[in-house]
Structure 1
Amino acid sequence: MASPTVRSNSLKIAGPLVIVSLLSCSEAQFKPRIEKQTAQKVLANHSLFIAGRKANEDMSFAFLPNSALQTLTLETNPLGTNSYKQIERPLIVDEFIQGHRGDEVKEDFTIATLDKLDLLVVVDNSSSMGSFQAKLSAGLKPLLSHISNTDWHMMVTTTSAIRKRNPVNPDEIVVTYGCPRVNASDSTDKAVITRQDYLQNASAVSDQFTWKVLGGENGDPIERGLLAATSALKGECGDEQKAWTRSDSHKAVLMLTDEENCGSDPDQNCDTAEDSKPEFFLNGAPKGTQFFALLHDKDRYVECQDQDYIRKPEDYRALIAQTGGLEGNICAGQYDAMLEVISSNMHPVARKSFTLGFDPENKDVAVLVDGVSWNGAFQVNGRELVISDGLPVGAKTLSVVYRHNAVPMSSQFPLSQTADPETLEVLIKGVALPSNDYSLISNKLFFKTEPKELSRIEVRYRQVQNLPRVFAFSKDALLSTVGVSVNNAPTKNFRIASDGIPEVLLSEAPKDGAQIVISYETESTRILSYQSLDFAAGEVRGIKAVDAASGDQVIVKASDGKLVFNRSDVLKGRIVNVSYDLAPKSSELKLNLKQLPIEGSLNVQVSEGGQQCAAQMSLSGTNLSFPCASDDLGRLQISYDYVTSIDSSFRLSGTFTQWADWIVKVNGVQTQNYSLDRNVLSFSGQTFVSDTQVEVEVWETMVLPLEK
């Protein structure tokens, strides 16, 4: 039969009762909405009795002429004890989850809009440029490789001037730069070719690009590259001024030349012109225009050994550096790889505004550009992030790292119940904290350092409640011998109140669940009386007792065949030698045993020479007789077992109903041969031998609620 959860209390009972455990049902927590009840058996009493105990006695004597020596081991009965278990207040566990600064999210945005690109190709058409033009004319596909998805427009011009008569004044020749190359023989050719044109007829556009780049070698010997590029971007072509670039597009220039701006010889009289310096382009071209160039320099490119120009293309290089462009080798065998790199570095217009997926917490936003932290200015309005400073030229990806959906964090947590500070235990992520890391004020827990976000905080404690510190003990106790231990540790922090039932008053209440044991002596604890040698009347002339270890005299009195010691001299295990001064020997030695020996347990040993006398000894009841004088035996040792008491009736603590079920076992075997009178169990007509065990279980019916 299964038993419920129980709480056990120990109770000491006098007489043959050795162990009694009283078990009661644990208190069930109250829960609402109870509609039904059920009956269940619970263990109300579990007791174990010993029907008769067996004990042993040893006696030792030494006989000399006219004297005898008896060796005694002084004994004590077990101390009386009262045991208690301190009540246990319910353990309360409050759990908290620390807040957090929000879920971290990283969003990546493409900086370039990939919308519009206006590309100007400027071709040097002076002498020696034919082979270079041919290689570029075949490079439209690699040039478009990274910008094919943009809405690109492209125009091609040369570094030479166009000379026309002024229509207003035919005698005047107008010189202009930056005019688009248009093939008059091709009716479909236009000044500007577009992505739309290319998508409709890629072959035709490729042919047109080839023709435009092959500008010939009959152009001006003094190349005015910066003037041509600036004029073309503005749409200036003499009286045919027509803008072709778009206001919201990204602009780029690709220069193909084997000489410096204004020529490579210093005596070509171009240095004083306003277009001779990079600033002319920077001030005249649309802001943000990138400059790319395929240049000639024999010191930089080993392939460029066929020309030896005095001036290096430093003006073009300055523009490349200031606009984020790239330089390529005009002397390379083919241009595909260089044109692909140039294509990948033509950046459309950079975005300024980015819409985030969530509302950032506390504007705690970090911005990275191409994976590197960016410290430029920006603003966050709701979910909109707006860049105030210019982003680095050529930047591709903008990453925004921020947190959202934050839960407020705290360093203080209110407890659900009034806590006893002495029982407080705080754990974070299962690890107990030192008590100096927190404090309890007005039933609120304060941390010195705010726990980390999402930490699991567990607070264990018991409610404030006065714990018992007064415990009763037996009125038979000798008050001067009382001792107290708490959890097996002796303590002197108590006093005794002896009015009525004696009680121990501890200075502090033991902690929950502590084991309290009160131990003491009673009048029967120290055994004062021991069996003496039984000599004939007048044979003993005197008795003396000394401590076998120290030789100190011990007070002893002989009375009615007993040796009686003072209480203060009886210590457990103390060995005392008692010497008898005897008159001239008698012919018979008689000893009176303490108890009737159990049959077969008597054991007698004597010195060599005394065996014949010992063999003729006789036992009548408790009287043991030897048919010889005491000194004929020499040393005599007697050992035997005896029964202290035999019981056949046993009283249980508690009161039981008539519906209780009783289970009785004798030496482990269940029996029905007993009778009950309330709480008294009797075995009439049965005689138990020593050490018989009687075990009793009493099961009561308890009505328990069932939840709905």
Structure 2
Amino acid sequence: MNWLRFSVLILLNTLLVSCSKFGAQYALAPEQNTFRQSATAVSNKLDILWVVDNSSSMGDDQQNLANNFKSFISSFVLKKYDFQLAVVPTDSYKGAFLGNPDTARFRGKDGTTSPAVSVITPLFENAIEIFQDNVLQGAMGSGDERAFQSMHYSLSSDLNSGFVRENSFLAIIIVSDEDDFSHDSSEAVAEYDNPNLHSISQYVSFLSDLTGSTPSIRRFSVSAMAIFDESCLGANEYGYLGIRYKEMIDATGGILGSICDDFSSTLNAIQNRIAELSTQFYLSREPRQESIVVAVDGTPVPRDLLNGWSYSSESNSIVFHGSYIPAQDSIIKVNFDPLAAK
């Protein structure tokens, strides 16, 4: 769960009963859940894997990503998230067919498997500059892009063990101008009716198992900067619509962003979504939604999907949005009336 210290104060642990001519009446005592946002809490640990297309058409897009990276990382740095960043190309899967496990390694500039820094953390004063180098994977890679298979191959490799940490939130971000066609053979087959095409659900299951997610608490998301409309497709001679990327995004709550749009805005949107999904506070009981009152460091927070808090009935949690996403060491208090007795 997303807290270092968790306490539940129950003002009255029995039902209050009064008699009247109408019979017994019951009232449930209110509850208060108190959380501390800290670097050792689930919500502050982010493991972010970038899967970057390194085919011949992607040089400009890689540079665009590097130039606008500050739009993505600035808020995580400001709020002192405990993040890790790594990069793999969309053809790293090839080692599985070539008997070369080294291709699973996280990469540096131009795809090198032995960069000075392969996992970037806040401990590096020049973290932004390191990422800007590492994301430039070059344009000499395979045109048989398999983002999902490359993600799986890298995250399953012992060479990258420890990257996905216990109780962290895993964010996958794909940058490509072609769709994913992961399948069981080494042959390039860019066909949606390929009987060997891997299903989206098998990759969702892989990520769920890897992160220890449950049906109510998902600890991962997949976002993509790709081609999602005919206008953008027309501007990319060798592109494909990101049909399977969209399916994965819909299944995991990520962000769909176009490589034809402003990279700064898209990266900021992805950053916001990761912060929202990773910073959830799970309540001890199901609340009456109209009774929920939320405060951060003693200041009331409005109920607002864009800039405030919202309640997720699916996970029974409070989710923060916009400028109200708590920084490290914040104290979050949630008062509510429970919906039912224990």
| TM-score bracket for this pair, using the shorter chain length | 0.5 to 0.7
- Quick one: which of 139, 143, 154 aligns to 1:232? 154
Question: Are residues 1:316 and 2:238 paired?
Answer: no
- Aligned-residue RMSD, C-alpha: 4.3
More strand by share: 1
Show the counterpart of 2:335: 400
Distance of 1:215 and 1:298 partners within structure 2: 25
Show the counterpart of 1:155: 86
- Quick one: which of 263, 266, 278 aligns to 1:338? 266
Residues 219/337 of structure 1: CA separation in 2 closer, same or farther (3 Å cut): same
Distance of 1:173 and 1:186 partners within structure 2: 16
Show the counterpart of 1:191: 118
Distance of 2:140 and 2:251 partners within structure 1: 32
- Quick one: which of 237, 248, 251 aligns to 2:170? 251
Show the counterpart of 1:290: 221
Question: Are residues 1:348 and 2:274 paired?
Answer: no
Give TM-score, length-normalised by structure 2: 0.63
**One-letter amino acid matched to 1:243:** G
Residues 643-673 of structure 1, C-alpha deviation per residue, up to 9 Å, x if partnerless?
xxxxxxxxxxxxxxxxxxxxxxxxxxxxxxx
Show the counterpart of 2:185: none
Residues 145-194 of structure 1, C-alpha deviation per residue, up to 9 Å, x if partnerless?
3322210011111101376799xxxxx74367642003599998222110
**One-letter amino acid matched to 1:312:** L
8 A Cα contact 1:292 1:342, kept in partner? yes
Show the counterpart of 2:330: none
Question: Are residues 1:123 and 2:48 paired?
Answer: no
Q: Percent identity?
A: 20
> More deviation in 345-354 or 135-144?
345-354
Residues 367/109 of structure 1: CA separation in 2 closer, same or farther (3 Å cut): farther
> More deviation in 129-138 or 363-372?
363-372
Shift of 1:137: 1.1
Show the counterpart of 1:219: 141
Aligned residues: 265
Distance of 1:320 and 1:364 partners within structure 2: 28
**One-letter amino acid matched to 1:136:** L
Q: Which runs of 5+ in 1 are unaligned?
A: 1-100, 167-171, 356-362, 377-388, 404-708
Shift of 1:354: 6.9
- Quick one: which of 199, 202, 210 aligns to 1:280? 202
Question: Are residues 1:390 and 2:315 paired?
Answer: yes
Show the counterpart of 2:327: none
Residues 513-570 of structure 1, C-alpha deviation per residue, up to 9 Å, x if partnerless?
xxxxxxxxxxxxxxxxxxxxxxxxxxxxxxxxxxxxxxxxxxxxxxxxxxxxxxxxxx
Distance of 1:113 and 1:254 partners within structure 2: 20
Distance of 1:294 and 1:393 partners within structure 2: 28
Distance of 2:179 and 2:146 partners within structure 1: 9
Shift of 1:277: 2.4
Residues 451-493 of structure 1, C-alpha deviation per residue, up to 9 Å, x if partnerless?
xxxxxxxxxxxxxxxxxxxxxxxxxxxxxxxxxxxxxxxxxxx
8 A Cα contact 1:108 1:399, kept in partner? yes
Show the counterpart of 1:647: none
Distance of 1:119 and 1:337 partners within structure 2: 18
Distance of 1:280 and 1:123 partners within structure 2: 21
Residues 23-62 of structure 1, C-alpha deviation per residue, up to 9 Å, x if partnerless?
xxxxxxxxxxxxxxxxxxxxxxxxxxxxxxxxxxxxxxxx
Residues 364/294 of structure 1: CA separation in 2 closer, same or farther (3 Å cut): closer
Q: Which runs of 5+ in 2 are unaligned?
A: 1-26, 183-187, 295-302, 325-332
8 A Cα contact 2:58 2:176, kept in partner? yes
Residues 280/220 of structure 1: CA separation in 2 closer, same or farther (3 Å cut): farther
Residues 111-159 of structure 1, C-alpha deviation per residue, up to 9 Å, x if partnerless?
9964211111110001110110000012221111332221001111110
**One-letter amino acid matched to 1:320:** I
Show the counterpart of 2:23: none
Show the counterpart of 1:329: 258
Residues 330-377 of structure 1, C-alpha deviation per residue, up to 9 Å, x if partnerless?
022x4112111111110325333579xxxxxxx99944794689595x
Q: Which has the larger radius of gyration?
A: 1
SS at match of 1:291: strand
8 A Cα contact 1:147 1:344, kept in partner? no
Shift of 1:260: 0.6
Distance of 1:178 and 1:220 partners within structure 2: 15
Distance of 1:144 and 1:329 partners within structure 2: 19
SS at match of 1:259: coil
Residues 228/394 of structure 1: CA separation in 2 closer, same or farther (3 Å cut): farther
Distance of 1:187 and 1:308 partners within structure 2: 33
Shift of 1:329: 1.2
8 A Cα contact 2:311 2:317, kept in partner? no
8 A Cα contact 2:87 2:106, kept in partner? yes
